[in-house]
Protein backbone atom coordinates (compact mmCIF):
# COMPACT_ATOMS: atom_id res chain seq x y z
CA UNK A 1 0.00 0.00 0.00
CA UNK A 2 2.82 2.36 0.91
CA UNK A 3 4.50 1.65 -2.44
CA UNK A 4 1.27 2.34 -4.32
CA UNK A 5 0.86 5.68 -2.55
CA UNK A 6 4.42 6.71 -3.44
CA UNK A 7 3.82 5.61 -7.06
CA UNK A 8 0.75 7.87 -7.27
CA UNK A 9 2.06 10.77 -5.20
CA UNK A 10 5.24 11.26 -7.27
CA UNK A 11 3.39 12.48 -10.41
CA UNK A 12 1.03 14.63 -8.28
CA UNK A 13 4.04 16.18 -6.54
CA UNK A 14 6.00 16.67 -9.80
CA UNK A 15 3.17 18.43 -11.68
CA UNK A 16 2.28 20.67 -8.73
CA UNK A 17 5.87 21.69 -8.03
CA UNK A 18 6.48 22.07 -11.79
CA UNK A 19 3.60 24.55 -12.11
CA UNK A 20 4.95 26.59 -9.15
CA UNK A 21 8.48 26.68 -10.59
CA UNK A 22 7.05 27.67 -14.01
CA UNK A 23 4.90 30.49 -12.66
CA UNK A 24 7.66 31.71 -10.33
CA UNK A 25 10.18 31.93 -13.18
CA UNK A 26 7.70 33.58 -15.55
CA UNK A 27 6.88 36.16 -12.86
CA UNK A 28 10.58 37.02 -12.66
CA UNK A 29 11.24 37.17 -16.42
CA UNK A 30 12.70 40.36 -17.83
CA UNK A 31 9.57 42.29 -18.79
CA UNK A 32 10.56 43.23 -22.34
CA UNK A 33 13.83 41.70 -23.45
CA UNK A 34 15.15 43.56 -26.49
CA UNK A 35 16.13 41.47 -29.50
CA UNK A 36 19.70 41.41 -30.71
CA UNK A 37 20.27 44.44 -33.02
CA UNK A 38 21.10 42.15 -35.96
CA UNK A 39 17.80 40.26 -35.58
CA UNK A 40 15.90 43.54 -35.29
CA UNK A 41 17.65 44.80 -38.44
CA UNK A 42 16.67 41.69 -40.43
CA UNK A 43 13.05 41.93 -39.32
CA UNK A 44 12.92 45.68 -40.04
CA UNK A 45 14.24 45.10 -43.54
CA UNK A 46 11.37 42.74 -44.49
CA UNK A 47 9.23 44.80 -46.88
CA UNK A 48 5.48 45.32 -46.49
CA UNK A 49 5.56 44.41 -42.80
CA UNK A 50 4.21 47.30 -40.77
CA UNK A 51 6.21 48.33 -37.71
CA UNK A 52 3.73 47.22 -35.03
CA UNK A 53 3.45 43.88 -36.81
CA UNK A 54 7.21 43.36 -36.90
CA UNK A 55 7.40 44.41 -33.24
CA UNK A 56 4.89 41.76 -32.35
CA UNK A 57 6.81 39.22 -34.41
CA UNK A 58 10.10 40.00 -32.65
CA UNK A 59 8.33 39.93 -29.28
CA UNK A 60 6.96 36.47 -30.01
CA UNK A 61 10.33 35.22 -31.27
CA UNK A 62 12.12 36.70 -28.27
CA UNK A 63 9.62 35.08 -25.96
CA UNK A 64 10.02 31.65 -27.55
CA UNK A 65 13.81 31.75 -27.36
CA UNK A 66 13.74 33.12 -23.81
CA UNK A 67 11.43 30.32 -22.65
CA UNK A 68 13.25 27.57 -24.54
CA UNK A 69 16.64 28.42 -23.00
CA UNK A 70 15.62 29.58 -19.52
CA UNK A 71 16.96 26.87 -17.13
CA UNK A 72 14.21 27.39 -14.53
CA UNK A 73 11.45 27.17 -17.13
CA UNK A 74 13.03 24.12 -18.78
CA UNK A 75 13.24 22.43 -15.36
CA UNK A 76 9.60 23.30 -14.65
CA UNK A 77 8.39 21.95 -18.01
CA UNK A 78 10.47 18.78 -17.48
CA UNK A 79 8.77 18.25 -14.08
CA UNK A 80 5.31 18.75 -15.63
CA UNK A 81 6.00 16.44 -18.60
CA UNK A 82 7.59 13.65 -16.50
CA UNK A 83 4.73 13.99 -13.99
CA UNK A 84 2.26 13.67 -16.87
CA UNK A 85 3.92 10.52 -18.21
CA UNK A 86 4.00 8.94 -14.71
CA UNK A 87 0.34 9.88 -14.27
CA UNK A 88 -0.57 8.06 -17.50
CA UNK A 89 1.34 5.02 -16.15
CA UNK A 90 -0.66 5.25 -12.91
CA UNK A 91 -3.89 5.45 -14.94
CA UNK A 92 -2.94 2.28 -16.81
CA UNK A 93 -2.46 0.46 -13.48
CA UNK A 94 -5.26 1.75 -11.28
CA UNK A 95 -8.92 2.60 -11.77
CA UNK A 96 -9.76 6.26 -12.24
CA UNK A 97 -12.19 6.13 -9.29
CA UNK A 98 -9.26 5.17 -7.06
CA UNK A 99 -7.01 7.88 -8.55
CA UNK A 100 -9.63 10.62 -8.37
CA UNK A 101 -8.84 11.86 -4.82
CA UNK A 102 -5.19 12.27 -5.82
CA UNK A 103 -6.23 14.34 -8.84
CA UNK A 104 -8.09 16.66 -6.45
CA UNK A 105 -4.89 17.18 -4.43
CA UNK A 106 -3.44 18.87 -7.54
CA UNK A 107 -6.17 21.50 -7.60
CA UNK A 108 -6.09 22.14 -3.84
CA UNK A 109 -2.29 22.28 -3.66
CA UNK A 110 -2.02 24.63 -6.65
CA UNK A 111 -4.61 27.12 -5.43
CA UNK A 112 -3.39 27.08 -1.80
CA UNK A 113 0.25 27.24 -2.94
CA UNK A 114 -0.50 30.12 -5.34
CA UNK A 115 -1.87 32.08 -2.40
CA UNK A 116 0.83 31.34 0.16
CA UNK A 117 3.95 30.66 -1.91
CA UNK A 118 3.45 32.87 -4.98
CA UNK A 119 1.51 35.52 -3.05
CA UNK A 120 -1.49 35.73 -5.38
CA UNK A 121 -4.67 37.25 -3.98
CA UNK A 122 -7.08 34.32 -4.13
CA UNK A 123 -10.76 35.17 -3.80
CA UNK A 124 -13.32 32.84 -2.23
CA UNK A 125 -14.73 32.27 -5.75
CA UNK A 126 -11.59 30.39 -6.76
CA UNK A 127 -11.99 28.04 -3.79
CA UNK A 128 -15.70 27.55 -4.57
CA UNK A 129 -14.83 26.80 -8.19
CA UNK A 130 -12.23 24.13 -7.32
CA UNK A 131 -14.73 22.49 -4.94
CA UNK A 132 -17.18 22.27 -7.88
CA UNK A 133 -14.43 20.97 -10.19
CA UNK A 134 -13.50 18.31 -7.62
CA UNK A 135 -17.16 17.22 -7.35
CA UNK A 136 -17.29 17.09 -11.17
CA UNK A 137 -14.15 14.94 -11.30
CA UNK A 138 -15.69 12.62 -8.71
CA UNK A 139 -18.66 11.95 -11.01
CA UNK A 140 -16.45 11.51 -14.11
CA UNK A 141 -14.24 9.04 -12.22
CA UNK A 142 -17.28 6.85 -11.45
CA UNK A 143 -17.95 6.37 -15.15
CA UNK A 144 -16.54 3.14 -16.69
CA UNK A 145 -13.27 3.77 -18.56
CA UNK A 146 -14.22 1.65 -21.54
CA UNK A 147 -17.45 0.72 -23.31
CA UNK A 148 -16.34 -2.91 -23.35
CA UNK A 149 -16.25 -3.05 -19.55
Partner 1 sequence: MIFKLLLVILVRTCTDISFKMAVYRLHFDSVSTLAANMKKMIASPYLWLGGFFGIANMLAWSFSLQEIDLSYAYPFLSISYVTIILSGKFLFHENLDKNKMIGIGFISLGAVILFLG
Q: Distance between CA 15 and CA 121 in Å, rounded? A: 22
Instruction: List contacts with partner 1 (CB under 8 A).
Output: 19-20, 22-23, 26, 29, 63-64, 67, 73, 77, 80-81, 107, 110-111, 114-115, 118, 120, 122-126, 128-133, 135-140, 142-144, 147
Name the minimum Å distance from CB 57 to partner 1. Answer: 15
Shorter beta-carbon distance to partner 1: residue 1 or 31? 31
Shorter beta-carbon distance to partner 1: residue 8 or 22? 22
Name the minimum Å distance from CB 138 to partner 1. Answer: 7
The phi-psi region of residue 107 (left if phi > 0; otherwise alpha if psi is between -120 and 50; otherwise beta) is: alpha
Name the minimum Å distance from CB 87 to partner 1. Answer: 13
Residue 43 vs residues 30, 36, 48, 52, 146: alpha-carbon distances, Å:
22, 11, 11, 12, 52
Name the minimum Å distance from CB 73 to partner 1. Answer: 7
Amino acid sequence: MKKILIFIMIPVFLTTVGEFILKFNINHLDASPKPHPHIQHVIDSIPFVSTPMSEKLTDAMMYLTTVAFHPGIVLAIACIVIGGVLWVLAMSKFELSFLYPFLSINYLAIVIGSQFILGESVSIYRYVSIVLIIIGLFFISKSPYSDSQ
